[in-house]
Amino acid sequence: MEVIYTGLRQTPRQIVKTAVEEDVDVIALSILSGAHNELLPKVAALLKEKDAEQIILLAGGIIPDSDIASLKKKGVREVFGPGTPMKDVVEYIQKAVPA
């Protein structure tokens, strides 16, 4: 896997622009600020706007269980909470991304 790290404090528009330009398979965002209900749906909507819904959107960080179903309905494929082993995330991506 190749990882493209864009740094902190990227806007949803910047994230999607980079993902489309770099032809990525997955966007994985870690959110600790509590803004997941605002930022993640914006990224999903921009992916749809750019006809890039094939890009898998993953989330991690401090996201309450009560918010996960709503985020998935809005386009987040999977949510990984605190303490999730990296191995689990890698295995998920390996299964989700076509060879």
- Give CA–CA dist 33/16, Å, rounded: 20
* Residue 27 pLDDT: 98
Treating both helix axes as pointing N-terminal to C-terminal, what angle do 12-22 and 36-49 enclose, rounded to 10 degrees?
Answer: 40
- What pLDDT, on the 0 to 100 scale, is given for residue 99? 72
Q: Residue 65 sits in which domain range?
A: 12-96
Separation CA 75–CA 42 (nearest Å): 10
For residue 5, tell me if it sits in a domain: no
Residue 6 lies in a domain: no
pLDDT block averages, 10 residues each, the chain of length 99 = 92 97 97 95 98 98 96 98 96 93
pTM as predicted: 0.95
Question: What digits encode the pLDDT tens for the residues 27-49?
Answer: 999 999 999 999 999 999 999 99
Q: Give how many domains the chain has, as a whole number.
A: 1
The count of other CB atoms within 10 Å of the CB of residue 79 is: 21
* CATH at residue 68: 3.40.50.280
Looking at residue 21, the DSSP 8-state letter turns out to be H
